[in-house]
Structure 1
Amino acid sequence: MSDRLFASRMSEQRLDRIEEQLEETRRQLRQLMDENRKLRKNQQVVELVLLEEMRMLISLLKKEQPRLNIHSGGTAE
């Protein structure tokens, strides 16, 4: 009977460790999801700022050189 009790206690301890690991993994997942959301928001802001800067530069270039044509960086085929 003591072997059974020992095995039961070991199983409970193992289950407790697994539950703790699961909770820690959930906490890390929530933290990573938060970080990801913040990074995406920051990326959107940076993209908007870059787009606005590009528009301003194009506008300034056109004022200085009205006949200037702006092309994309792609290659012609």
Structure 2
Amino acid sequence: MEMYFDMDLSLSEIGEELHISRQGAYDMLKRASHSLESYEQRLHLLARYDAVRDKIDEVERLLDREEPQTLERAKQLLHEIEL
């Protein structure tokens, strides 16, 4: 998957690099993609990441303000992120 997404290689180029056919590279990519989707369904990592990112964004917005309760809310959000 790294070769396809990060290195932007075509299926033919991946096949050449790994000494397999283009179809073999395609099948390997599909199996890896299916495995990742299966893990995501069980682990919910993307949802957790999105929730953490939202809390970080809120902390940043709060810290831009100068209200007394701002620091307390920021601390609370950071504590939630740690869990």
Give the TM-score normalised by structure 1: 0.35
Give the TM-score normalised by structure 2: 0.33
- Highest Rg: 1 or 2? 1
Higher relative contact order (CA 8 A, sep 6+): 2
